[in-house]
């Protein structure tokens, strides 16, 4: 398959058929992760820079594992160890990195639009590993892939996204992708944690969690950033946990085969009951495992795309 | 030899729809005659303006010249040059320099720089800080600032949060007969910067600034102006909600005047979402660009007089300061170079009338800030420029006189170009 995109900035760039192709490719790489020797020479000699200007455990490790399993050389750079701390601009930092001729830069940054900013200035592929509140396309793709593996076609499925949607890049990218895949998306959060124009989004909006969960096939909990209380968006964590934390009683109201997801890291006892996080309905660890396969697929396609070969 | 009666004669210029010869004597308009075939210059300097349109020098009451302190962005000389080439004969510059313009020494430095670089150039009128260091804690020494040459007072980008102190600042300023200009922004609600709170900011994942933040402060100011029976001038109004408040205030006879900027008349928040310009910091401005409905409302308000006049909010920044992530880029658009062509374009397209244009850039600011202006009546100052209405030019670093090249119009082609500019009958461009 010829991959024409230079960069992955958000899932809005991808057509439904391209997303499905990514699922197929990820499924192929998934098999490699079950072998005793989990490594193929596909990207031997290619290099990936993992530039994380914001803390990350799972996304960064996931990309690192994905790159290594495809035999690419990966190099990590964190904000704390980069010249950004010396006042260097993002432009100069990434141009410096580019001068070392990587094939791909995977970047996480706390500013919305930062991935677009560097993609406009770099010749190599740029994969957005999360930019501010804007987008987290690889998370959305691994979430979509996980759901696709669970249910096949997503048409007719209803997914509830629960929690701090206003500040969530995961929610934004998932809404776009799930709509492309034909799912119905619901959102539930206090009004202070919903985008101001959420009523114009292609979603069903709820403030009552008991209503929101009725009959849904999947529930995606989002991490509550604990400082939101200081921002005046919540009275306190206890009230949030009692009102918007997902518990067993909510699951009873959902579809009998409901699946529970969380992009992590989880605040157990706040946005999700701890036992639910670990129960057999939970896909949390499947998401992590599928994340490696999806990122292998992405690195493979973006680093061997038309143009990258020339 | 005939006795010289005029110093300067502009021949064959288009003025208000007719071809005229304009006679200047001792820096003022002496005569305006229909162009005659028989012509005796009587020793005067003659400029043939065939094909050019004559326009009174414009006045910009809201610029940032950056000197002292940030001369790499702009200095008094480059700012005045941009003004002169932009068609402006007088500009008022804001106080957010370093040091802040809250002492006579800083005001005098600005005026001395202007005199040294442009002795006959555009008139510079510094705006003094309303509070010391713009901190919003203590009143600035306004009497001293007026004596040094300040023509108005404002905290501009750092509006006074404490309404009681702001009231006292208005009262104190009124003793010196100078307008107070307020940047209308509720400081607690306007936590976002550079993008309007709405669908675009939600999709882009940017912290937006709600139009309510502006309208709330407009309401506060209007109520204060009514209570104190004092004039207040509202800077760079950007949204429909504010216009509703201002319109009602004017209808009730409250002494409020308001300006908006060319960018709120020609651009919308959609610029920040267009694939070619997504997240462009060149359009990061405070207050932010608003939706199309607000843009149309601003045009209507300019036409009906709710908006009294225009100002550029010329905010030059160095290229490296804008070439950063959206969240950390400074707000501001460099506007002196493009203001004339963009707003004249609105006249050419029939969006606003020529009379409105004149009020917007000449008579409106002159009346509010008590500045002389040229209405092309006998005895008016011979402050005017000639422009080629047909000349097209591309907005780029090479065509801009300001040091600040930060404009979302970069790369676009504008029509209408200042060719020459006279102040008090002396050619400055």
- Average pLDDT on B227-238 reads 98
The predicted-structure confidence for B1-22, as pLDDT tens digits, reads as follows: 556 789 999 999 999 989 999 9
Report residue B50 CA to chain centroid gap.
Answer: 29
Q: What is the largest CA-CA distance in chain B?
A: 75
Q: What percent of chain B has pLDDT over 90?
A: 95
> Which residues neighbour A120 within 8 Å (Cβ) at sequence distance 6 or greater?
none
Inter-chain residue contact A89 with B198, CB threshold 8 Å: no
The predicted-structure confidence for B293-326, as pLDDT tens digits, reads as follows: 999 999 999 999 999 999 999 999 999 999 999 9
Residues of chain A with pLDDT under 50: none
Would you say B65 is a known binding-site residue?
A: yes
A167 to chain B: closest CA residue: B205
Distance of alpha carbon B127 from alpha carbon B144, whole angstroms? 12
Would you say B81 is a known binding-site residue?
A: no
B272 to chain A: closest CA residue: A113
B118, B151 contact by CB (below 8 A): no
Closest approach of A140 to chain B, Cα-based (Å): 15
In angstroms, the Cα distances linking A261 to A217, A240, A276, A290 are 11, 19, 10, 13
In angstroms, the Cα distances linking A248 to A245, A263, B427 are 10, 19, 82
Output DSSP code: residue B333: B
The predicted-structure confidence for B248-286, as pLDDT tens digits, reads as follows: 999 999 999 999 999 999 999 999 999 999 999 999 999
Count of residues for chain A? 310
Distance of alpha carbon A224 from alpha carbon A162, whole angstroms? 10
Beta strands B413-423; B426-427: pairing state: antiparallel
The predicted-structure confidence for B353-386, as pLDDT tens digits, reads as follows: 999 999 999 999 999 999 999 999 999 999 999 9
- Which residue carries 């504008």 as its tokens? B414
Inter-chain residue contact B205 with A200, CB threshold 8 Å: no
Query: Which residues of chain B make contact with A135, given a CB cutoff of 8 A?
Result: 205
pLDDT score at B4: 74
pLDDT score at B40: 80
Query: Which residues of chain B make contact with A164, given a CB cutoff of 8 A?
Result: none
Distance of alpha carbon B95 from alpha carbon B77, whole angstroms? 17
pLDDT score at B112: 98
- Average pLDDT on B331-339 reads 98
- Average pLDDT on B324-340 reads 97
State the count of interchain CB pairs (< 8 A) between A and B: 60
- Which of A111, A133, A169 is the closest to B325 by Cβ? A111
Take residue B135 and report the two structure tokens written for it.
């901190």
Would you say B96 is a known binding-site residue?
A: yes
Q: What percent of chain B has pLDDT over 70?
A: 99
- Which of A89, A197, A201 is the closest to B198 by Cβ? A197
Inter-chain residue contact A112 with B210, CB threshold 8 Å: no
- Average pLDDT on B111-136 reads 96
Note which residues in 181-210 of chain B have CB less than 8 A from chain A. Answer: 197-199, 201-208, 210
Closest approach of B210 to chain A, Cα-based (Å): 10
pLDDT score at A208: 97
Of A105, A96, A97, A159, which Cα lies nearest the Cα of A131? A105
Would you say A191 is a known binding-site residue?
A: no
- Average pLDDT on B40-48 reads 89
- Which of B204, B320, B327 is the closest to A89 by Cβ? B320
Domain boundaries B55-369, CATH class: alpha beta
Judged by a CB distance cut-off of 8 A, whether residue B326 touches chain A is yes
Asked whether the bond before A298 is cis by omega within 30 degrees of 0, the reply is: no
pLDDT score at B3: 64
Half-sphere exposure (CA, 13 Å, Cβ side) for B222? 21
Choosing from B313, B327, B349, B388, the catalytic residue is: B313
Closest approach of B337 to chain A, Cα-based (Å): 27
Query: Which residues of chain B make contact with A198, given a CB cutoff of 8 A?
Result: 202
In chain B, where are the structural domains located?
Answer: 8-53+380-427, 55-369
> Which residues neighbour B123 within 8 Å (Cβ) at sequence distance 6 or greater?
B89, B90, B91, B371, B423
> Which residues neighbour B238 within 8 Å (Cβ) at sequence distance 6 or greater?
B211, B214, B260, B261, B264, B287, B288, B289, B290, B294, B298
pLDDT score at A246: 97
pLDDT score at A228: 84
| Sign of the dihedral through C-alpha B384, B388, B390, B394 | negative
A110 to chain B: closest CA residue: B327
Asked whether the bond before B68 is cis by omega within 30 degrees of 0, the reply is: yes
Take residue A58 and report the two structure tokens written for it.
């799972």
Inter-chain residue contact B204 with A112, CB threshold 8 Å: yes
| Reported ipTM | 0.91
Distance of alpha carbon B64 from alpha carbon B43, whole angstroms? 41
pLDDT score at A308: 65
In degrees, rounded to 5, the angle at the alpha carbon of residue B317 between the alpha carbons of residues B314 and B319 is 135
Inter-chain residue contact B324 with A116, CB threshold 8 Å: no
A67, A40 contact by CB (below 8 A): no
Classify domain A7-136+289-304 by CATH architecture: 3-Layer(aba) Sandwich (3.40)
Distance of alpha carbon B34 from alpha carbon B354, whole angstroms? 20
pLDDT score at B172: 96
Beginning with the edge strand found earlier in the chain, give each strand of the sheet holding A218-221 in spatial order. Answer: A204-206, A184-188, A158-162, A218-221, A259-261
DSSP for chain A? Answer: -----S-B--GGGS-HHHHHHHHHHHHHHHHHTTSSS----TTTT-EEEEEESS--SHHHHHHHHHHHHTT-EEEEEEGGGSGGGGT--HHHHHHHHHHT--SEEEEEESSTTHHHHHHTT-SSEEEEEEETTTB-HHHHHHHHHHHHHHHS--TT-EEEEES--TT-HHHHHHHHHHHHTT-EEEEE--GGGS-TTGGGSSSEEES-HHHHTTT-SEEEE-PPPGGGTTTTS-S-HHHHHHHHSB-HHHHHHS-TT-EEE--S---BTTTB-HHHHHSTTB-HHHHHHHHHHHHHHHHHHHHSSTTT--
pLDDT score at B41: 83
Closest approach of B294 to chain A, Cα-based (Å): 17
Of A85, A84, B165, A86, which Cα lies nearest the Cα of A94? A84
Would you say A229 is a known binding-site residue?
A: no
Q: Is A138-284 a domain of CATH 3.30.470.20?
A: no
> Which chain A residues touch B if contact means CB-CB below 8 Å?
89-91, 109-114, 116-117, 131-135, 169, 172, 195-198, 200-201
Known active-site residue B313: yes
Q: Would you put residue B29 in left (φ > 0), alpha (ψ -120 to 50) or beta?
A: beta
Would you say B236 is a known binding-site residue?
A: yes
Distance of alpha carbon B427 from alpha carbon B24, whole angstroms? 12
Look up the pTM and report it.
0.94
Inter-chain residue contact B327 with A111, CB threshold 8 Å: yes
Q: Between 3.40.50.1000, 3.40.470.10, 3.40.50.800, 2.30.40.10, what CATH number should domain B8-53+380-427 receive? A: 2.30.40.10
pLDDT score at B61: 98
Inter-chain residue contact A112 with B323, CB threshold 8 Å: no
Inter-chain residue contact A113 with B278, CB threshold 8 Å: yes
pLDDT score at A307: 66
Query: Which residues of chain A make contact with B212, given a CB cutoff of 8 A?
Result: none
Closest approach of A71 to chain B, Cα-based (Å): 33
Model confidence at B143: pLDDT above 80: yes
Asked whether the bond before B291 is cis by omega within 30 degrees of 0, the reply is: no
> Which residues neighbour B140 within 8 Å (Cβ) at sequence distance 6 or greater?
B102, B128, B129, B130, B131, B132, B153
- Which of B199, B278, B323 is the closest to A197 by Cβ? B199
Question: What mean pLDDT is reported for chain B?
Answer: 96
Distance of alpha carbon A233 from alpha carbon A260, whole angstroms? 25
CATH 3.40.50.1370, chain A: domain bounds? 7-136+289-304, 138-284
């Amino acid at each position: 398959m010829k991959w024409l995109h230079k960069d992955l900035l958000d899932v809005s760039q991808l057509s439904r058929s391209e997303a499905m192709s990514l699922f197929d490719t990820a499924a192929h790489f998934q098999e490699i992760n079950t072998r005793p020797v989990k490594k193929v020479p596909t990207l031997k000699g290619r290099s990936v820079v993992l530039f994380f200007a914001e803390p990350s455990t799972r996304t960064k490790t996931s990309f690192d594992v994905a790159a290594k399993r495809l035999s690419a050389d990966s190099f990590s750079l964190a904000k704390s160890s980069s010249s950004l701390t010396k006042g260097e601009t993002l432009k100069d930092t990434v141009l410096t990195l580019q001068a070392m001729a990587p094939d791909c830069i995977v970047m996480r940054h706390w500013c919305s639009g930062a991935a677009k900013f560097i993609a406009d200035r770099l010749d190599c592929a740029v994969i957005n590993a999360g930019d501010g509140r804007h987008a987290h396309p690889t998370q959305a793709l691994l979430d979509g892939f996980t759901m696709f593996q669970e249910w096949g076609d997503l048409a007719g499925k209803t997914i509830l996204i629960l929690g701090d949607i206003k500040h969530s890049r995961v929610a934004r990218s998932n809404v776009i992708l799930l709509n492309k895949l034909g799912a119905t998306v619901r959102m539930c959060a206090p009004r202070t944690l919903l985008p101001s124009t959420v009523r114009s989004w292609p979603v069903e909006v709820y403030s009552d969690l008991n209503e929101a969960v009725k009959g849904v096939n999947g529930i995606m909990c989002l991490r509550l950033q604990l400082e939101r209380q200081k921002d005046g968006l919540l009275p306190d964590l206890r009230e949030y946990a009692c009102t918007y934390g997902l518990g067993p009683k909510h699951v009873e109201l959902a579809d009998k085969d409901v699946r529970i997801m969380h992009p992590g890291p989880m605040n157990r006892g706040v946005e999700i009951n701890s036992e639910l996080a670990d129960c057999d309905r939970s896909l949390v660890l499947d998401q992590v495992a599928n994340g490696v396969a999806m990122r292998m697929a992405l690195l493979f396609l973006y680093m061997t795309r038309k143009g990258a070969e020339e | 030899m005939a006795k010289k009666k005029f110093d300067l004669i502009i021949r064959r210029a288009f003025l208000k729809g007719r071809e005229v010869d304009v006679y200047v004597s001792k820096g003022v308009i002496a005569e305006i005659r229909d162009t005659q075939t028989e012509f005796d210059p009587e020793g005067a300097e003659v400029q043939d303006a065939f094909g050019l349109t004559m326009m009174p020098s414009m006045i910009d009451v809201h610029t940032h010249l950056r000197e002292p302190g940030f001369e790499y962005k702009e200095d008094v000389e480059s700012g005045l040059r941009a003004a002169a080439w932009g068609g402006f004969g007088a500009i008022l510059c804001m106080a957010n320099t370093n040091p802040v313009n809250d002492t006579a020494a800083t005001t005098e430095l600005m005026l001395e720089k202007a005199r040294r670089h442009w002795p006959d150039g555009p008139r510079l009128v510094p705006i003094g800080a309303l509070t010391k260091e713009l901190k919003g804690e203590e009143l600035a020494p306004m009497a001293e600032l007026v004596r040094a040459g300040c023509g108005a007072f404002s905290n501009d980008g750092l509006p006074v949060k404490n309404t009681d102190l702001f009231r006292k600042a208005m009262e104190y300023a009124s003793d010196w007969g100078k307008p107070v200009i307020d940047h209308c922004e509720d400081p607690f609600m306007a936590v976002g910067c550079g993008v309007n709170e709405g669908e675009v900011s939600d999709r882009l994942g940017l912290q937006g600034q709600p139009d309510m933040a502006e309208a709330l402060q407009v309401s506060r100011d209007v109520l204060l102006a009514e209570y104190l029976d004092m004039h207040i001038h509202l800077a760079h109004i950007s949204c429909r909600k504010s216009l509703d408040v201002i319109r009602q205030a004017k209808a009730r006879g409250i002494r409020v005047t308001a300006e908006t900027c060319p960018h709120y008349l020609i651009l919308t928040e959609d610029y920040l979402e267009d694939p070619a310009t997504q997240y462009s910091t060149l359009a990061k401005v405070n207050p932010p660009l608003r939706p199309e409905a607000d843009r149309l409302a601003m045009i209507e308000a300019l036409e009906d007089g709710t908006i009294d006049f225009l100002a550029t909010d010329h905010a030059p920044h160095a290229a490296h300061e804008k070439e950063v992530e959206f969240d950390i880029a400074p707000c501001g658009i460099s506007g002196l170079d493009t203001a004339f062509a963009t707003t004249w374009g609105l006249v050419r397209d029939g969006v606003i009338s020529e009379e409105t244009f004149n009020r917007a850039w000449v008579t409106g600011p002159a009346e509010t800030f008590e500045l002389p202006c040229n209405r092309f009546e006998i005895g008016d100052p011979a402050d005017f420029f000639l422009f080629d209405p047909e000349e097209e030019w591309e907005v780029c670093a090479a065509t801009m006189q300001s040091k600040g090249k930060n404009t979302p119009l970069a790369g676009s082609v504008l029509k209408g170009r200042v060719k020459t500019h006279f102040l008090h009958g002396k050619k400055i461009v």
